[in-house]
Amino acid sequence: MLAFDDDDPDAAIWLDTDQPRCGTLPHLSEPKLAQAVRDRIGRNLRAMYGDLLREPVPDCILDQITHLDRRGRGTIH
């Protein structure tokens, strides 16, 4: 489950606690996952995402592009 942290998207940038602080680089001093673990997560992430990439594109989206293309070329109005 996810929830957005802030109603204001700009605030999310300025109040982002992910920002490395000058001279401390806290994200670099924290314990790191082993390279093998990172590799496995990365591999599974790409494989999972690959399933989504291989899904057929819905006709409605293809039709939309065809329509936009024809309209832009003046073949339909």
Partner 1 sequence: LTATPEVRDAMLAAIPSLRAFAISLTYNVDTADDLVQEAILRAWANIDRFQPGTNLNAWLFTILRNGFYSRYRKARREVGDPDGTFASRLVTIPEQGARCDFEDLRTALAKLSVEHREALILIGAEALSYEEAAQVCGVAVGTIKSRVHRARERLGQLLAIHGVEDLGPDRMTQAALQSAF
Query: What residues line the site for partner 1 (CB under 8 A)?
Result: 1-5, 7-9, 12-13, 16, 18-20, 27, 30-34, 36-38, 40-49, 51-55, 57-58, 60-62, 64-65, 68-69, 72-73
Asked if residues 15 and 6 have their Cβ atoms less than 8 Å apart, the reply is yes
What is the rounded CA–CA span in Å between residue 44 and residue 50?
Answer: 10
Q: How far is the CB of 17 from partner 1 (least distance, A)?
A: 9
What is the rounded CA–CA span in Å between residue 21 and residue 18?
Answer: 9
Q: How far is the CB of 8 from partner 1 (least distance, A)?
A: 8
